Structure 1
Amino acid sequence: MKNIIITGTSRGIGYELALQFAKAGHNVLAISRKIPEALIENRNISCLKIDLASGEGLERISDFVEKTWKTVDILIHNAGALILKPFAQISAEEFEYIYKVNVFGVAALNRVVLPYMPKGSHVVTVSSMGGVQGTMKFAGLAAYSSSKGAVITLSELLAEEYREQGISFNVLALGAVNTEMLQEAFPGYEAPLSPKQMSDYIYNFALTGNTYFNGKVLQVSSTTP
């Protein structure tokens, strides 16, 4: 039984992951701006309503871990924000918001949780194929894809900084998954994988991936996008 923190659990991949880990008997702390009833009702899931973009409420996470778990075995950065808009039309506020969720929120949560992570623990960051150098890029995703590239580099650097402490950092760069967020940005586009299918992969990787990888970026995509 492991103690697992997952962000972005209100829907999609994060929601499925929280239920999957809980069903397997693990303790889950689900963090999101909205809390689904199914998560609240699960006895293995604790929920905190926190907006990572604001930076407020992070102390509630450390308080929870200190009083309830004492240690965290797995941290999954799944929360994400996406905007599809030509670069010239993206406001400074919109660009900054994407980075607050996709990069600054990840860094801030790492600062809070890492002191509670023992040797052998695993930090998994969900990124995007659009953030991987040399992959196909798409117009309108300047803020999103560049932020996903930034969080990849951050994870690689932290893998080095925490290597001696035995904490592993890996990134999963996902291709298209048929989430609500994708449908909101690209109405009508049918991605080949469902949130449940992708959560199956992330579930197993979070539990065992650090046995084989550290400081790595794995491309998880069945299509070019």
Structure 2
Amino acid sequence: MNIVLTGASSGIGFEAALEFTLQTENKVVCIARSADKLRKLLEIAKGINPDCTLLPVEFDIINDDYAALVPFLKERLGTVDILINNAGALINKPFLELSAEDLNQMFQSNVTGHFNMIQNLLPLMHNGSHIVNIGSMGGFQGSVKFPGLAAYSSSKGALHTLTECLAFELADTGIKINCLALGSAQTEMLEQAFPGYQSPVMAFEMGKYVADFARTGHKFFNGKIIPVAVTTP
């Protein structure tokens, strides 16, 4: 399978990338802004499976030039079977202290970047391709909400709605799109949101779940926002 994964340099994205590289036939393009962390990912992946194909790409999904990225992907992959939009950011700040710039940053990181990836990579996708957006329980309708996360949770809610809309727009293409509204997993972002909290779910466990869903979830779901949580948070 040909897989493109954003936010691959840490946390759940890092672990999902390693899960994909266990299968030698997979080609995994790992996108992130940190070249150093991507090199570390490649080193670990090759240590686990020396025959794996992991292509690290230093790229900012908000600001960098897709006119360079897309031809690279077409040359190296041909087509894209799986796109996982995992990149994201979090601001933990009381509502009255939030600025318009904070809100814009959250929507740029958690919505616009994924919008850019989907729009630019669609020409490389085909009937049977699967887009997986990584949302959050914070943006899931009816879920428990937490102080300080208004901007973050609002942006994730927007990503959930984008997922539902695109499922209808892409229905005739055979390309499926779903969103995993993740609960807590032990990552740097969780520590930022809930300092000191220990999640019962490790990053590698959630990464494996995301990879497994990306491989098979489109056979059962389309346009769905799927809550993935056993605790609150």
- Quick one: distance in 1 between partners of 2:99 and 2:161? 25
**1:154 correspondence with 2:156:** no
**1:88 correspondence with 2:107:** no
Match of 1:217 in 2: 225
Q: Deviations over 1:61-86 (max 9, x none)?
A: 20212222110000001111001101
What SS class does the counterpart of residue 101 from structure 2 fall into?
helix
Match of 1:48 in 2: 57
CA contact (8 A) 1:61 1:112 kept: no
Give the Å deviation of 1:184: 2.7
User: Any stretches of 5+ residues in structure 2 without a counterpart?
Assistant: 47-51
User: Any stretches of 5+ residues in structure 1 without a counterpart?
Assistant: none
CA contact (8 A) 2:62 2:116 kept: no
- Quick one: distance in 2 between partners of 1:59 and 1:89? 38
Provide the aligned length of Structure 1 versus Structure 2: 223
Alignment RMSD (CA, Å): 1.2
Match of 2:27 in 1: 27
Give the Å deviation of 1:101: 0.8
CA contact (8 A) 1:50 1:58 kept: no
Runs of 4+ deviating beyond 3 Å: 40-43
Match of 1:39 in 2: 41
Q: Given residue 48 of structure 1, which amino acid in structure 2 is its aligned partner?
A: V
- Quick one: distance in 2 between partners of 1:157 and 1:46? 31
Q: Taking structure 2 as the reference length, what is the TM-score of the superposition?
A: 0.92
Q: Deviations over 1:19-72 (max 9, x none)?
A: 110121211111111132233344511111112232x13233202122221100
- Quick one: distance in 1 between partners of 2:193 and 2:142? 23
- Quick one: distance in 2 between partners of 1:194 and 1:101? 24
Q: Taking structure 1 as the reference length, what is the TM-score of the superposition?
A: 0.95
Match of 2:16 in 1: 17
Match of 1:8 in 2: 7
Match of 2:147 in 1: 139
Q: Given residue 38 of structure 1, which amino acid in structure 2 is its aligned partner?
A: K
Match of 1:172 in 2: 180
CA contact (8 A) 2:15 2:207 kept: yes
CA contact (8 A) 2:92 2:192 kept: no
Q: Given residue 46 of structure 1, which amino acid in structure 2 is its aligned partner?
A: L
What SS class does the counterpart of residue 29 from structure 1 fall into?
strand
Identity rate of aligned residues, in percent?
A: 46
- Quick one: distance in 1 between partners of 2:57 and 2:157? 28
What SS class does the counterpart of residue 76 from structure 1 fall into?
strand
**1:126 correspondence with 2:134:** yes
What SS class does the counterpart of residue 53 from structure 1 fall into?
coil
